[in-house]
Amino acid sequence: MASLTKIMTSKTINVGVGEYAVSLHPGDMIKTQGLGSCIGIVAISKTSSFAGLLHVQLPESSINEELAARKPGLFADTGIPLFIDEFLKRGCRPQDIIIKLTGGAQIIDSVSSFNIGKRNYLAVKKCLLALKLWPVAEDIGDCLIRSVSVEVGKPEVTVLIPGSGSKKI
């Protein structure tokens, strides 16, 4: 009598600056590295094994509409609607989406003349609010570089800060 063994392997999905990824496969790990002033937006479905991550670099597409057309995920105002639409297309309602935010640090601009981390954070919150979404957890600001990961099928997000360890939000 022959036995069949099916081995399920999880995969790691790396998200670059201005990119997003979503997965329906429990165990898949979605991650991004080097969140300085950028914002990592993690979305997790409450009702199914579905999660995603968007790595936003800049607040508003109006600064470079041509670039926004080619790479909408770079900007909060163009990337977030596309990212959240991936959930809506799969039957998630806004109230079924858990949002967690990381990043928004004050990295390059030591005299705070541009405040890009804060501007990114405010633009992200504005876009989320327009979509009737609000973050349930955040690890935002300071002068820290962060990496973030989410395992599909699990509600927590892991934030890694080099030299300081990791924490769950």
**Domain locations in the chain?**
13-168
In this prediction, residue 107 carries a pLDDT of 77
Higher pLDDT, 111 or 132: 132
The pLDDT tens digits for 16-59 are: 999 999 999 999 999 999 999 999 999 999 999 999 999 999 99
Q: What is the pTM of this model?
A: 0.90
The predicted structure's pLDDT at residue 6: 42
> Which amino acids are annotated catalytic?
38
Cα separation values, 110 from 10, 35, 106, 116, 149, Å: 40, 16, 7, 11, 27
At 75-98, the pLDDT tens digits run: 999 999 999 999 999 999 999 999
DSSP-assigned states of every residue in 58-113: BS-GGG-HHHHHH-GGGBHHHHHHHHHHHHHTTT--GGGEEEEEEE----S-TT-S
pLDDT value for 110: 57
Q: Which CATH class is domain 13-168?
A: alpha beta
What confidence tens digit (pLDDT) does each residue in 48-61 have? 999 999 999 999 99
The DSSP 8-state label assigned to residue 128 in this structure reads H
74 band by pLDDT with thresholds 50, 70 and 90: very high
